Structure 1
Amino acid sequence: MLPPVVLPLLRRQSGVVARRQVLGGGGDDALLGRLLRGRHWARLHDGVYVDHTGPPSFEQRAWGAVLLHAPAVLAGATALRAYGVRTGAAPGHAPVEVAAGAPAADHAVAVLADACQTGRSTPARLRQALGGRPRLAGRRLLLEVLADVDAGAWSALERRYLVDVERAHGLPRGRRQQRAETAAGWVSRDVAYPTYDTLVELDGRFVHDRSSARWSDLSRDAAALAAGQVTVRLGWRHVLDPCSTAFSVAGVLATRGWDGAPVPYGDACRADDWGGPSARGAGGPPQSVA
């Protein structure tokens, strides 16, 4: 029979325990021998055991490594994965460490946004972690990314739209991750321009190629249209051509009452490409844009 103190350890450590923990809780080597011979437990490493004989899970392998090398902790991407975030994120310094080593800003966005979306951390806590590491590589970029995540840009695509399309071309500032109640229930709008009754939905996931997701998108767009809002759906192809996309979105906003004009950005942007809604022959607000 296991000593009472070992059971909570197994629950807390994903079914993995060290020999020293068993002995410290009142067990002995004879007990460990019986558990192993009876195939109730299996040996992960010398002096580290798991409470079954099947293949160990990732969490069990991680605990096995920590217990084998104790005192030790998980770090970097392994720590992120152990805490169950899509890109793998955890509380503390791990998201900051992995984001700092990311090969591009889009990867850093994915790590930091996942940490916040899953509730494992917040932009404020991550900024605090950065504050304690003034020499971290890419620190300035990470602070910029966190500011955008805090503003609601929760994916690489959403940040690209915010930075390269909206901000770079002087479009009105949208409201991000706005919750709205529809006949089908509550939905979250990627970008809303409430003054101009215009929504931008950013579809960067493969799931949007599935017919069920397309029907869901249609229902959302129909609900928006019933409320007097036009929906512009953009994907990576559009956002990677930010100048053309900015001018197109500006045209939609202009038909909805915006009296501004997009700002050319870089050599690829031509100011004379913009003629306002009249140059496009718009006789009224569009009903949908895809």
Structure 2
Amino acid sequence: MGLAQPRLAAQAEQVSDLDRQAAVQLGVVSRAQALAAGMTADALRWLLRTGRWQRVHAGVYATFTGPLQFEARVWAAILRAGTGAVACHRTAAYLDGLCDDPGPVIHVTVPAGRYVEAGIDGVRVHLSRRLALTRHPVKTPPRTRVEATVLDLVDAAPNPGEAEGWVTAACQRRLTTPRRLALALRQRKRIRRRSMVEAMLSDVADGAQSALELHHLRRVERAHGLPAGCRQRRVEGRRVTWVDVDYSEYQVRVELDGRVGHTGEGRFRDRRRDNRATVDGHVTLRYGHADVFGDPCGVATEQARVLSARGWTGTIRTCRPGCPAAIQDRPGSLA
């Protein structure tokens, strides 16, 4: 028995192919990889028993002691999920710099039809029939392409605002472009909030005469019986500005922000415009895609209350059975 221990230690130290593989995988290897490299089951058990290696998941080991960094944990999840698995959703987003918090769970996707044992600790497994198209060809740890990651997150978002935020963040951080996202969206048959995302991406390309403004006209203003606003009104001053929707009789303006990734000088220009309007006695309401597409009745209710406070004597109407649009404390109260 005394001779067996040195033999096991010598064998464990001689597997150079496995060393190279572990270096790529940040020190994490699978049982199958270790055995394929020539390590015996006895040598593997000895490494674990003596604490030289540590078990991360069933059949997946870290070849070092101490805590695992995040990317090593991702590798461990991918190896546990099996052949073809890649990081996805928020995990892939964090790896690519799309978000600053990876969240408490590691997300991996495997090809549809693959069986993966349920209950991998700290890991959520997704299935995809398009993984061959959405997998990034070279990045490590393996992950989905940025465009696929964004659309996965949009599909899983609990509300329109969060969905809009993923698209905006991807463009603001210059990880992709609206054109590339639009192409990926066209190739994807099923996704929640498709119309909202299509509008966001087309608005970037087409400018002010946007799908967002059209949706506001139809689903907010006309559907709820609000007064007709003047669209794309040119306002003269020290600098010429354009107002998306102007209710001039009531000194109310609506700005529809359809520009994905709108930061920097454009943001300050909007603020200066809104401030000048306030000085001149106007009030400005500002909405994005998540508001107009996600809650058009809520937008209509808010606009109606502001318009009523400034002299509109009309009555908002419901756009459908169950529409929550209503004005409280009429007339003229915002309470």
With structure 2 as the length reference, what TM-score do the two structures score? 0.46
SS in 2 for 1:17: strand
SS in 2 for 1:32: helix
Task: Report the CA distance shift for 1:175/1:138 in structure 2 as closer, same or farther (over 3 A).
Answer: closer
SS in 1 for 2:33: helix
Offset of residue 141 of structure 1: 0.8
Task: Report the CA distance shift for 1:117/1:78 in structure 2 as closer, same or farther (over 3 A).
Answer: same
1:86 corresponding residue in structure 2: 99
2:53 corresponding residue in structure 1: 41
Deviations 1:51-90 (A, max 9, x none): 3332334433332222122123333334334444216596
Task: Report the CA distance shift for 1:65/1:99 in structure 2 as closer, same or farther (over 3 A).
Answer: same
With structure 1 as the length reference, what TM-score do the two structures score? 0.52
1:191 corresponding residue in structure 2: 267
1:69 corresponding residue in structure 2: 81
1:133 corresponding residue in structure 2: 188
Task: Report the CA distance shift for 1:245/1:117 in structure 2 as closer, same or farther (over 3 A).
Answer: same
Deviations 1:16-57 (A, max 9, x none): 211212232344435434543443321112221113332334
Task: Report the CA distance shift for 1:12/1:128 in structure 2 as closer, same or farther (over 3 A).
Answer: farther
Percent same amino acid at aligned positions? 27
On the 8 A contact 2:172/2:262 being kept in 1, the answer is: no
SS in 2 for 1:43: strand
Task: Report the CA distance shift for 1:67/1:108 in structure 2 as closer, same or farther (over 3 A).
Answer: same
SS in 1 for 2:55: strand
Deviations 1:127-164 (A, max 9, x none): 12211123322111112233456799xxxxxx9xxx99
SS in 1 for 2:16: coil
d(CA) in 1 for partners of 2:261, 2:172: 11
SS in 2 for 1:245: strand
d(CA) in 1 for partners of 2:193, 2:260: 26
d(CA) in 1 for partners of 2:283, 2:21: 58
2:283 corresponding residue in structure 1: 244
d(CA) in 2 for partners of 1:120, 1:35: 42
The yes-or-no answer on 1:267 pairing with 2:322 is no
Deviations 1:97-123 (A, max 9, x none): 211232332211221222333444332
SS in 2 for 1:191: helix
Residue 169 of structure 2, aligned match among 106, 114, 118 = 114
Q: Which amino acid aligns with 1:17?
A: V
d(CA) in 1 for partners of 2:172, 2:257: 22
Residue 3 of structure 1, aligned match among 10, 15, 19 = 15
d(CA) in 2 for partners of 1:10, 1:55: 16
Task: Report the CA distance shift for 1:122/1:67 in structure 2 as closer, same or farther (over 3 A).
Answer: same
Task: Report the CA distance shift for 1:139/1:19 in structure 2 as closer, same or farther (over 3 A).
Answer: same
d(CA) in 2 for partners of 1:168, 1:26: 71
Q: Which amino acid aligns with 2:90?
A: A
Question: Larger Cα Rg: Structure 1 or Structure 2?
Answer: 2
Q: Which amino acid aligns with 2:87?
A: L
Unaligned runs of 5+ in 2: 1-12, 103-143, 221-241, 247-253, 287-301, 312-335
TM-align CA RMSD: 4.4
Task: Report the CA distance shift for 1:109/1:148 in structure 2 as closer, same or farther (over 3 A).
Answer: farther
d(CA) in 1 for partners of 2:64, 2:206: 46
Residue 32 of structure 2, aligned match among 17, 20, 27 = 20
d(CA) in 2 for partners of 1:37, 1:14: 21
Task: Map 1:134-149 onto structure 2 (within 5 A).
Answer: 134-147=189-202
Once structures 1 and 2 are overlaid, which stretch shifts more, 116-125 or 133-142?
116-125
Offset of residue 267 of structure 1: 3.0
Deviations 1:259-286 (A, max 9, x none): xxxxxx9534549969xxxxxxxxxxxx
d(CA) in 1 for partners of 2:256, 2:35: 66
